[in-house]
Amino acid sequence: MTIGEGQGARGAVAPETLIDWDRLLDRPRVPVEVEALRAAFAGRRVAITGAAGSLGRELAATVATYQPASLTLIDSGEAGLFALREALLAAGHIEGSLQFHLTDVRNRRRIAAIFAATRPEVVFHLAAYKHVPWAESQPSEYLDANLGGGRVVIEEAARVGAARVVYPSTDKAVNPPSLYGATKRIIEAQLREIAAGSGTRCVAARFVNVLGSQGSVGVTFARRIAAGKPLPITGDPTMTRYWIAPHHGTLLLAYAAAPAFDEPFTILLPDALPAVPVVEIARRIWAQLGRAGEPPVVVTGSRPGERLHEELVGASEGYEPAPYRGILLVRGMSDVPPGTPIATGIGELLAAVEAGTPEDELKARALAWAHTIR
């Protein structure tokens, strides 16, 4: 546990660590299918980008438990990567099987060299920007990081013959209302394109809101309650979201590497039904932190890129139970996205970013293109 996560600088316990996120959601904890994860990782070469983030840390610990032949951990944050190394070694994992690489995923030369040296069989590409309102105001940064980095990692993984690439997408990729959602929709489409043209299996795991992850609304509410501040509800008191606990999010990614998903391209969802109003999540966090009555709530206007109710699947899609509990399998997407080749379209958008195209124009172009992808 590092300073700023579980403890404050003076040793105070962070309020979010006092919350049982599974109990808060009133949902059984998703069980671990040990044999499926052993088949996915034991004796295999695995790489994770964004390894020092909230999801990456937990995924790295899970993969390391199943004794992979090697585990390559990539992140652009020096402090976070160092903390991850210390945590894994303290947990008893053997340093010889772990490799730590400090680099930006947009750096094709570095990613190509790392993959050529480590020859990963399973690649988790987690490195991305994720805050919806910032993407609306700074689309060039999000296009460069999310599309530029995504294209590099996916293409270089396929180039070295990776058996599988796993990508955390989002429900916001469905009929994307935001620039962030558009970047995820476009990378989902590139995964389909790569899967159709190579031997690499690709899996997009569409995440919903992960309570307890860094920067999540659950953590924000817990910290504001501890500080005696009102809880901001954006949009409308009726706003709903789909929610999962961090453990569920880790398993969604880990199961995406399991043998059951052997089609060229697969989309998975966490079973997060039903949607729950944001204000109800605020009430439950308030109660778990020992407060009585109703929490002090301030309803603000909708933030840029938000919608009242999220969508899990598109018009042509549906979902069904997957072989592992807590996971849903999406059906109905075509094998290859029609229209402009995705790699070409990404290249054109990145060239526009490099040319200094105005932010509003970049956003409009990316959204318009994302909405044509079926």
Helices 246-255 and 34-41, packing angle to 10 deg = 50
Tokens of 328: 């849903």
Q: What is the pLDDT of residues 147-177, one digit of tens each?
A: 999 999 999 999 999 999 999 999 999 999 9
Residue 33 backbone class (left: φ over 0; alpha: ψ -120 to 50; beta: rest): beta
Long-range pairs for 222-230 at CB < 8 Å and ≥24 separation? 222/14, 222/15, 222/16, 222/18, 222/19, 222/285, 222/289, 223/14, 223/15, 223/16, 225/15, 225/285, 225/286, 225/289, 225/291, 225/295, 226/15, 226/289, 230/295, 230/296, 230/297, 230/298
Identify the CA nearest to 39 among candidates 259, 268, 323: 259
261 three-state secondary structure: coil
User: How far apart, in whole angstroms, are the C-alpha atoms of residue 187 and residue 291?
Assistant: 43
Q: Name the CATH superfamily for 15-25+34-370.
A: NAD(P)-binding Rossmann-like Domain (3.40.50.720)
Residue-level pLDDT at 125: 98
279-295 burial string, b = 16+ CB within 10 Å, else e?
Answer: bebbbbbbebbeeeeeb
The maximal CA–CA distance of the chain, rounded, in angstroms, is: 58
Residue-level pLDDT at 11: 52
Residue-level pLDDT at 300: 87
Residue-level pLDDT at 236: 82
Indicate the domain borders of the chain.
Answer: 15-25+34-370
Residue linked to tokens 């989309």? 267
Q: Cα separations (Å) of 372 from 151, 261, 277?
A: 19, 27, 30
pLDDT in tens, the chain (374 residues): 222 334 444 457 889 999 999 899 998 999 999 999 999 999 999 999 999 999 999 999 999 999 999 999 999 999 999 999 999 999 999 888 999 999 999 999 999 999 999 999 999 999 999 999 999 999 999 999 999 999 999 999 999 999 999 999 999 999 999 999 999 999 999 999 999 999 999 999 999 999 988 888 999 999 999 999 999 998 788 999 999 999 999 999 999 999 999 999 999 999 999 999 999 999 999 999 999 999 999 998 788 899 999 999 998 999 999 999 999 999 988 777 777 899 999 999 999 999 999 999 999 999 999 999 98
User: How far apart, in whole angstroms, are the C-alpha atoms of residue 145 and residue 150?
Assistant: 8
* Length reported for the chain: 374
Alpha helices in the chain (DSSP H): 21-24, 34-41, 54-65, 78-90, 108-118, 132-137, 139-142, 149-159, 179-197, 217-226, 246-255, 278-288, 342-354, 359-370
Is the preceding omega at residue 274 within 30 degrees of 0, hence cis? yes
Rg of the chain over Cα atoms, rounded to whole angstroms, equals 20
Tokens of 338: 């029609």
Q: Cα separations (Å) of 323 from 265, 340, 374?
A: 16, 34, 26
Residue-level pLDDT at 163: 98
